[in-house]
Amino acid sequence: MKKQIVIIGGGISGLATAYWFKKNNYDVVVLDKNKEPGGVMESVTNNGFMFDRGPNSGLEVTPLIKQIVDEIGMSDQFIYADSTGDKRYILRNNILHALPMKPNLFLATKLFSWKGKLRAMAEPFVKRSKDGYYQSLAEFVSRRLGKEFLDYAINPFVAGVYAGNPEELSVKSAFPKLYALEEKYGGIFVGAIKTARARKKSPETAKQSAKMFSFKNGMQSFPAGIAKYLGNLVNLNCDVSGVYKTETGYKVAYTQLDEEKSIDCDIVISAVPSYSASKLFGGIDRQLAEHLNEIYYPPVIVLYLVYKKSSIQRPLDGFGFLIPSKEKKSFLGAIWSSVIFPTRTTEDKTAFTLFIGGSRNPEIADMDRDSVLKKAIKEFQEVMVINEKPIFNAHRFWSKAIPQYNVGYVEHDKYFAEFETNNPGLYLSGNFRGGIAVGDCIRNSDVLYNKVKEFLDSKNKID
């Protein structure tokens, strides 16, 4: 079989990229080893409860999200989070403190001590670092905003986003916009004011002000909807084993339900996790395989719990809470799922999603699963003042959940760019490049589409 473009991986990254190609009449095909599209975006229904086992929501950071949703006819499925979810809590000394989102609330909060607040407010007077390039997020934040801000704001925040550890994450790679504020403007506060002015002119929305969205039947509806639009261009149960150079382009070898097959093509886009991609390109570039293999994906357990509303003594007035590692709990935080998206359960019940493990506690992978879950449920019930057992619980163990853009990642990223330059027509995408959030994956799909289009246009001119 001969195709112009083969995309390996039918998660949101691969499918959104395929979407732009199909819309613009390119000859494209997607191969995925799973029997359903969506990758880590998994939504399931069990005992009448619908829940997400991967991402629970996305942030509408780019108009491209709504554009795809509308164009594939899913507008009636698209839902925004209830505004109650705007309030977020952080646990300190077993008390949930609302995260202060305005200067007056920052001054009033008991989440930080006065010493901690004054130290954070001194940020504009902190000098720029001479060597920001290899700094961890922890080094960057404690230098600019102080240790208490790191421990009680940033540490829980990165647990919520990356299931990550600020001591290991690279500020430049994991939070490039934050890093750029110091690089360009000398500090975070000054930079934030200046970039907010510039952003007003752009169609993109900053993560902190973007609206949170999902779908009536969960996040997997999105990749499933794109796959439906793509129709027979999406081939499931196709486990790709390697990509090889040919005289005219590339060959993608795969097994579909025990049958060995291959496709010849001009363009190969890899949209699989880095540890999978490392097995595909070893024949073309051994060093690339090593770089891809070095990206760490910690294990995470997603635990879904449903309680009778009457058994919860705490007011349900927010998105949920995150836990700083200093609090020494066995889970990272909890999303109050049916508060944000009320249609997730009936009026008399409340659904929660807890996250356990991550870079903070990777040992959960080898521990007795029941004990890990029991401990998390016990601690969760204490925080929420819940006096009855959950009426339903289910969990999903991800042995390799989310790629960590750790210190040293810049070297991998440099090599990925070099690999693409040395092998025209091969592209590496997916959430280990350019951001892990669903919104990042959508934005990157459009950037990649334009890059490939430019390459094909220039190739056509030469031919």
Ligand X SMILES: Cc1cc2nc3c(=O)[nH]c(=O)nc-3n(C[C@H](O)[C@H](O)[C@H](O)COP(=O)(O)OP(=O)(O)OC[C@H]3O[C@@H](n4cnc5c(N)ncnc54)[C@H](O)[C@@H]3O)c2cc1C
Binding site for ligand X (CB under 6 A): 8-14, 31-34, 39-41, 54-58, 238-240, 271-273, 276, 300, 302, 398, 401-402, 430-431, 436-438, 441
Closest CA to 268 of 292, 302, 244, 293: 244
| CB 187 to ligand X: min, Å | 28
| CB 401 to ligand X: min, Å | 4
- Tell me whether residue 143 or residue 400 sits nearer to ligand X (CB atom): 400
| CB 107 to ligand X: min, Å | 30
| CB 51 to ligand X: min, Å | 12
- Tell me whether residue 8 or residue 159 sits nearer to ligand X (CB atom): 8
Tokens 């909890």 label which residue? 334
| CB 355 to ligand X: min, Å | 7
Degrees, nearest 5: CA angle 156-434-190: 60
| CB 286 to ligand X: min, Å | 18
Phi, psi of 11 (to 5 degrees): -80, -170
Per-residue tokens: 47: 């005992």
Is-contact 272 441, C-beta < 8 A? Answer: no
- Tell me whether residue 272 or residue 377 sits nearer to ligand X (CB atom): 272
Q: Which positions ≥6 away from 187 have C-beta within 8 Å?
A: 123, 124, 126, 128, 144, 181
- Tell me whether residue 77 or residue 109 sits nearer to ligand X (CB atom): 77
| CB 254 to ligand X: min, Å | 7
Closest CA to 168 of 178, 177, 155, 180: 155
Tally of helices (H runs) and strands (E runs) in the chain: 17, 19
Per-residue tokens: 91: 């646990």
- Tell me whether residue 135 or residue 270 sits nearer to ligand X (CB atom): 270
| CB 275 to ligand X: min, Å | 9
- Tell me whether residue 31 or residue 289 sits nearer to ligand X (CB atom): 31
Closest CA to 329 of 161, 122, 92, 116: 92
Instruction: Provide the sign of the torsion angle of the four alpha carbons 56, 64, 226, 245, taken in this order.
Output: negative
**Alpha-carbon distances, residue 91 vs 94, 326, 328 (angstroms):** 6, 10, 11
- Tell me whether residue 120 or residue 438 sits nearer to ligand X (CB atom): 438
- Tell me whether residue 18 or residue 145 sits nearer to ligand X (CB atom): 18
Q: How many residues does the structure list for the chain?
A: 463
Phi, psi of 323 (to 5 degrees): -120, 120
Per-residue tokens: 34: 């799973």
- Tell me whether residue 142 or residue 165 sits nearer to ligand X (CB atom): 165
CA–CA dist 446, 463 (Å, integer): 26
Q: Which positions ≥6 away from 125 have C-beta within 8 Å?
A: none
| CB 278 to ligand X: min, Å | 10
CA–CA dist 414, 411 (Å, integer): 5
Phi, psi of 285 (to 5 degrees): -155, 105
